[in-house]
Structure 1
Amino acid sequence: MFNMKNKKLIAIFFLSIILVISGIAYYKNKIEWQYNPIKVIQKSFKFKNKHDSEAYKKCYKYPESIQEDSIDNIESVNIINIDKVNDANLYKSFIDSNNIDEEDIEIYKVKYDIKFNDESKSSIGNGEDEIDYILAKDQSSKWKIYSWGR
């Protein structure tokens, strides 16, 4: 029924399909995090830990505000928890000053543990800290960190 040549062609065909599907799944997984605000925060911490400033900057709306030497001074940083902030005044203030729709903004309080290579070069010390992250969607519906602070 099938000769050896046909079997090889069928095998190559199925392997090609598997490779294409694997490539699509890999690519989707590689960019999927950009469409979830919590994953953007998690990735930003992961990139900080790896000292990958280029990838870290992709998490931010204004990457030029990132100081690379502050990333290099981090020995380790780990998220303890991420909680959504529901303070309507905080949302309103950001929405009004940035002309962003309410459904395109989310604010999270992130508790994390950080250790520096040289603690004297940091405005905060080693140990636990808590900070608010304001994220908003950009034109391509990807979430970006607009600002962070207390």
Structure 2
Amino acid sequence: MDVRINSIVDGETIRIDWILSILVARRRVIMHKSKKIIYLFLALALIGLSIFLVVQQLDKTQVNDSGIIQYSKKDLRDSENVIRDKFFYENEHNLEKVRELYSSKYADSDFRLFNLASIKLLEIKLLEDERNYSYRAGFKDLERKNLIVYKVRYSVEFKDQTIEAIDSGEYDFAYYLIRENNGGNWKIDGTGMDYFE
């Protein structure tokens, strides 16, 4: 069946089947574009989920084949920030903020801030030798993953040198950070001059 209509604009004859084929072709193009958008969205969602799962795995403390703890990036970042904040708040003579960064056994300490002229953090280095961990973890009844030890280099200047146990100058100390009761935030639980690199 060949149906023809006259165009009002220029009087030419147009076949209806030709118009219908154009409309069907447009619909196919639109459907094809919609499918592409849906497939693209699904692909991006899968990629995003994969990245999320990988990042979650990286943020977990792990034990390698040698039995050595490998801290997550988050644990390393958070524990290093505790040390940085400690030096910042000591320079500010902000006793309450300094106390918040230490374990509960330091709740009443004044940290001798009254005699501190200045203190400057120079370097933080993770100590990986297991000898730095074995005694302290057992003594504190901590899971090993809740103890982290850094070598911290800093310079300090005191107002009155005669009342301090150490001189003004540059020092390297081990900083022992723990998660009290095997959970929570990292806290400084002690320092010491003896450590293994």
TM-score normalised by the chain length of structure 1: 0.72
Report what 1:73 is aligned to. 115
Asked whether 1:91 is paired with 2:138, we answer: no
Q: How many residues align?
A: 117
The code of the aligned residue for 2:125 comes to D
Residue deviations 1:93-130, cap 9 Å, x none?
11111111111110001000111111111111111011
Asked if 1:120 is matched to 2:162, the reply is yes
Query: Which consecutive aligned stretches of 4+ in structure 1 deviate over 3 angstroms post-superposition?
Result: none
Q: Which runs of 5+ in 1 are unaligned?
A: 1-31
Aligned to 1:64: 107
Q: Distance in 2 between matches of 1:63 and 1:138?
A: 13
Letter in 2 for 1:142: N
Which of 1 and 2 has higher RCO (CA within 8 Å, sep 6+)?
A: 1
Tell me which amino acid in the other structure corresponds to 2:184.
S
Taking the aligned partners of 2:169 and 2:109, their CA distance within structure 1 comes to: 21
Q: Which runs of 5+ in 2 are unaligned?
A: 1-73
Answer with 1 or 2: which has the greater Rg: 2
What's the C-alpha RMSD, in Å, of the aligned pairs? 2.0
Percent sequence identity over matched residues? 23
User: In structure 2, what is the equivalent of residue 55 of structure 1?
Assistant: 97
The one-letter amino acid of 2:93's match is H
Query: Which residue is equivalent to 1:147?
Result: 190
Distance in 1 of aligned mates of 2:120 and 2:113: 14
Equivalent-residue separation in structure 1 for 2:130 and 2:150 (angstroms): 13
Q: Work out the CA distance in 2 between the residues paired with 1:90 and 1:115.
A: 28
